[in-house]
Structure 1
Amino acid sequence: MRGTRTKCMSLALAIAAISTATAGHANPARPEMAIDPARLSRTGSIDPRFQSYNIEMLEVIGGAFWKPYDSKVATSGQKDAGHAGIDPAMYQYRPPIDLRNRRLRILAKALGPAYVRVSGTWANSIYFADSDTPPAQPPAGFKGVLTRDQWRGVIRFAQAVNARIVTSFAISPGVRDAQGVWTDDQARRWIAYSRAAGGTIAAAEFMNEPSMAGMGGAPKGYDAIPYGRDFRLFKQFVSRVAPDMVLLGPGSATETPAPWGMPPSIVGSIATAAMMEASGPGIDAFSYHHYGAASQRCASARLPQTSAADALSEQWLARTGITHDFYASLRDRYAPGKPIWMTEGADAACGGNPWSGSFLDSFRYLDQLGRLARTGVQVAIHNTLAASDYALLNPTDFAPKANYWAALLWHRLMGATVLDTGIPLVEGAHVYAHCQSGRTGGVSLMVINNSATAATSITLPRRSLRYTLTAPDDGSTGVALNGTLLSLGPRDRLPPMVGAAQAAGPVIVLPRTISFLAVPDARNPACR
């Protein structure tokens, strides 16, 4: 697809046809909406690195990761591959990611500034080999080895793409003393080497997903009491060795009391409330993870499922807010006033569903960004940049998927100041507003029409530039912008992504499309 520009259905003709057919009542089920971008009030702001991404620790060191759905390669065969309790047949060996790859760096840099989180379940059992001769096999109590060269590669990648590193530390039996208490030797060596290599760990969680400690490599019988003890030791360590590092926590997942949450009866589960009671205060920001379901890979483990047929439903899109509200209530109880980060999320855990790389998932991805920004979440880290089905980039050649183009458009248009549209979220009209990125006084609207049949009309008193995303005609994992399939040019040059001029007045947003409307001359006082 590289360098190809394929014309899809003429968006202009389609808009004209619907405008004529629905004049005065673009959606009979809902009144037309009018927005004056100049009058939208400020509701808050997000971190300039709000939209970020994850590179799994397993990607850095190589190992058994989620097996592609269409793969004919043999499975890993490792009994301890990935999460405990998941069928090893769901995993396949992948070599370490090439963080020096030119295309990867070009595309990642275009999303900067960002955070790059290098963590995941595998980070819980990682051994940092602080020597010139790393061991061929991980020492007892560990499952993987991170070499100096590999970690230096992460540092150089982050520097090249304007990203700051977020991570978590090992908590497996290998970092514990004879009484099973966490020790800081590995963490201290890792931080010291990072500095020596010219890097910085900007933020870190103590461990990855402690709410699933039993599935994540913690010692047998690990519960809230030893977690609280270990977290306090970790906090003391951070205050001595890395006082400028943002201490995130707890980084929990799967607890939402809804059909997609994991039951508390799962062996090794720890409730966040119990952890926070045991650990006491000390975090700089409250962190949590969100997946609306588990992918088909984990169906045999009886983890909650979803389907492509539900991908545009209000119930599916609303799960982002339900999970946020659950964890925000815990933040308010145990860490009042602290910022909140979503440090990992995608369409589904266990590597994503088969449709997670298509435009169908872009509705969830962009709606999630809009919802989280509106509720005050400071950082949203997508899992992953370039591994498995939920990746922004194809894992084999780093070609952009639909969500990469959606991410790039958000990055270019939606600034850090969040505005109030005054419009409730209803099917066919999820409307979000931010100050326009890089344009003083400008405003950008994002309008998500997840309806299968009804168009939406929004009246603007000023001219705007329209960027409409639609599914490609060829069934690929790409996306069309204003009717033209987005693709890389020669030498991986990004396309211009130019908006179409839109006169003042009604703007028709077709079913199953996403439109950004940039109003550069809005002169909104909140955007100066």
Structure 2
Amino acid sequence: MDQLVKILFVLVMMLSLWSFDPSENGEKEPVLDLAKLNLIGSVDERFQSINVEMCEVVGGQFWVPYHLIDTARVKKEGLAALKRKIDPINLYNPKLRKLTEALGPMYIRVSGTWANTTYFQNDDSPKLAKAPEGFENVLTRNEWKGVIDFVNDLDNQLVTSFAISKGIRDEKGNWTPAQIQPLLEYTRAINGKIAAAEMFNEPSHASYGGAPEGYDPAQYARDFVAFSTYVKREIPSMKIMGPGSTGEGGILGEVHEMGTDKILAQNPKPGFEIFSYHYYGGVSNRCRGNLSPADALSQEWLSRTELGLEYYENARNKYLPNAPIWLTETAEAACGGNPWAATYIDTFRYLEQLGRLAQKGVKVVMHNTLAASEYALLEQYTFNPRPNYWAALLWGKFMGTKVYRSPYQVEGLDIFIHSLKNSKKGYTIMVVNPTEKESSLNLSSSAKQYTLTADELLGKTVKLNGKELKLNADDSLPELSGVNVEKGTIKIPALSTVFLTIEGL
């Protein structure tokens, strides 16, 4: 009998352990209560936007794919051997248009270093074989009309920058509207509109970007007076952005002669209506960067976008405290991105960057590029979606303009909460799990769950709720179907991003 009592006692103890409730030990799992969210800000309705490089529009020398790099030629010729001639992008391609429209509405930024030295050929003659003196590239009417139609037909808005090379200047080296004027007149003639523009692309690297020799902050300030005077008189509806610099604050090395601080300390101070900056977390292997896939999931890497913002935010606060801040060019790494920028592993950087910057008050983020090089959302020429395209599609479908702070955090998870897009009442919770450990979230409401995963971190195939995401036979997008989940504990798989949509709250 004593032996039977002992056995029963052991069984009772085992059952009590199996049914142990952490709340009985003061460790109850916290609940993400949507009734207790704090609104911390808002973003532009076109927060997620994209770049189409001017080089893509006119055709020119852009980054060579890794598998085509000739190492012997690189040793001999340097940077020149890392680029190849690309054809102008066909902005009328039905597949490209369909996939771009699904991400919108967006800002389409047509700029990049090439824009600094591009000559607008304001006639309908065949394209010049060589740019006029003082320029390096030629933009035709037909190519620019393709841009305007691409923007207008897809309910997007155009952002750009203008030439600043020797070709636009008078005999004393001063800025003139010699190029901006015909471009704007033609834009109006074909029912186009430029929503916002930078005077030129990345003045922080002016010496590499086609600026006249010896260009300095004082010259920038003089140019800006002439530029802004012209804009306010001729196109007052166009917002002036700037400076559009990059790499400062120790992210890509130090910038000295044309640092943002020096530009903004001039008298008169350039008065940007929108404070813009560019961000790349590092330089790609193509240009001898030392990043590796091992970096791609670290908190240091995922949070570096906030470090990149810090320098420019401080400059904005000091010189132009009321100006909204936009990130007008960003991607995985400078020089076309690393090979893994085209794989699933970079979706964590892409989505975390959007989530983190929205929380920090950045109003717009423009990803580089739509369809050129490894960091593009779409494969060049075929326009097949890469993993980051699917990540962008999910963000664009669910994440609204109101930004909230999560009332609590879960170790290993990064939680971002927005209003539910296109809904008067509702929320979207984006939960990023960049770790190799499954986690969970205790939610106060039922929801629809959309889980993005992949079988291979460095692969190009991704799944939504376990089903491979791919285009239909007619190149249309598949239906993005969610799974109904009840309130309570929700599993967050390892190496996944989960979108939880809640309506009616």
Residue 119 (structure 1) aligns with: 111
CA displacement at 1:440 relative to structure 2: 2.2
CA displacement at 1:38 relative to structure 2: 3.0
Report the secondary structure of 2:342's partner residue: coil
The residue type paired with residue 52 of structure 2 is I
Answering whether residue 474 of structure 2 is matched by residue 491 of structure 1, we say yes
Report the secondary structure of 2:346's partner residue: helix
Pick from 195, 204, 210: which aligns with 2:203?
A: 210
Q: Residues 49 and 366 of structure 2 are in contact (CA less than 8 Å); yes or no, is this contact kept in structure 1?
A: yes
Report the secondary structure of 2:244's partner residue: strand
Report the secondary structure of 2:401's partner residue: strand
Q: Which has the higher contact order (CA 8 A, sep 6+)?
A: 1
Q: Residues 66 and 92 of structure 1 are in contact (CA less than 8 Å); yes or no, is this contact kept in structure 2?
A: yes
Q: Residues 70 and 81 of structure 2 are in contact (CA less than 8 Å); yes or no, is this contact kept in structure 1?
A: no
Residue 230 (structure 2) aligns with: 237
Q: Deviations over 1:450-502 (max 9, x none)?
A: 122x3222111211111111114596413111111100012111111111111
C-alpha spacing 1:32/1:96, structure 2 compared with 1 (3 Å): farther
Pick from 28, 45, 53: which aligns with 1:56?
A: 53
Answering whether residue 275 of structure 2 is matched by residue 286 of structure 1, we say yes
Distance of 2:21 and 2:464 partners within structure 1? 27
CA displacement at 1:54 relative to structure 2: 0.2
C-alpha spacing 1:450/1:138, structure 2 compared with 1 (3 Å): same
Q: Residues 469 and 515 of structure 1 are in contact (CA less than 8 Å); yes or no, is this contact kept in structure 2?
A: yes
Residue 404 (structure 2) aligns with: 419
Distance of 2:311 and 2:407 partners within structure 1? 24
Distance of 1:67 and 1:22 partners within structure 2? 59
Q: Residues 37 and 519 of structure 1 are in contact (CA less than 8 Å); yes or no, is this contact kept in structure 2?
A: no
The residue type paired with residue 424 of structure 2 is T
The residue type paired with residue 88 of structure 2 is P
Report the secondary structure of 2:313's partner residue: helix
Pick from 443, 446, 463: which aligns with 1:480?
A: 463
Residue 192 (structure 1) aligns with: 185
Residue 284 (structure 2) aligns with: 295
Q: Residues 465 and 500 of structure 1 are in contact (CA less than 8 Å); yes or no, is this contact kept in structure 2?
A: yes
The residue type paired with residue 131 of structure 1 is D
TM-score (norm 1): 0.87
The residue type paired with residue 87 of structure 1 is L
Q: Residues 472 and 485 of structure 1 are in contact (CA less than 8 Å); yes or no, is this contact kept in structure 2?
A: no
TM-score (norm 2): 0.91
Q: Residues 73 and 81 of structure 2 are in contact (CA less than 8 Å); yes or no, is this contact kept in structure 1?
A: yes
CA displacement at 1:405 relative to structure 2: 0.5
C-alpha spacing 1:72/1:66, structure 2 compared with 1 (3 Å): closer
Residue 430 (structure 1) aligns with: 414
Distance of 2:209 and 2:417 partners within structure 1? 38
Residue 408 (structure 1) aligns with: 393
Residue 263 (structure 2) aligns with: 275
Distance of 1:460 and 1:24 partners within structure 2? 17
Residue 361 (structure 2) aligns with: 376
Gaps of 5+ in 2: 1-17
Identity across aligned pairs (percent)?
Answer: 45
Distance of 1:191 and 1:406 partners within structure 2? 35
Gaps of 5+ in 1: 1-20, 80-84, 524-528
Residue 13 (structure 1) aligns with: none
Report the secondary structure of 2:340's partner residue: coil
Report the secondary structure of 2:186's partner residue: helix
Pick from 138, 152, 157: which aligns with 2:150?
A: 157
Matches within 5 A, 1:28-67: 32-67=29-64
Answering whether residue 253 of structure 2 is matched by residue 262 of structure 1, we say yes
Distance of 2:308 and 2:471 partners within structure 1? 36
Pick from 421, 431, 435: which aligns with 1:451?
A: 435
Alignment coverage as a number of residue pairs: 481
C-alpha spacing 1:173/1:492, structure 2 compared with 1 (3 Å): same
Question: RMSD in angstroms over aligned alpha carbons?
Answer: 2.2
CA displacement at 1:422 relative to structure 2: 2.8
Matches within 5 A, 1:250-399: 250-257=243-250, 260-264=251-255, 269-278=257-266, 280-299=269-288, 304-399=289-384
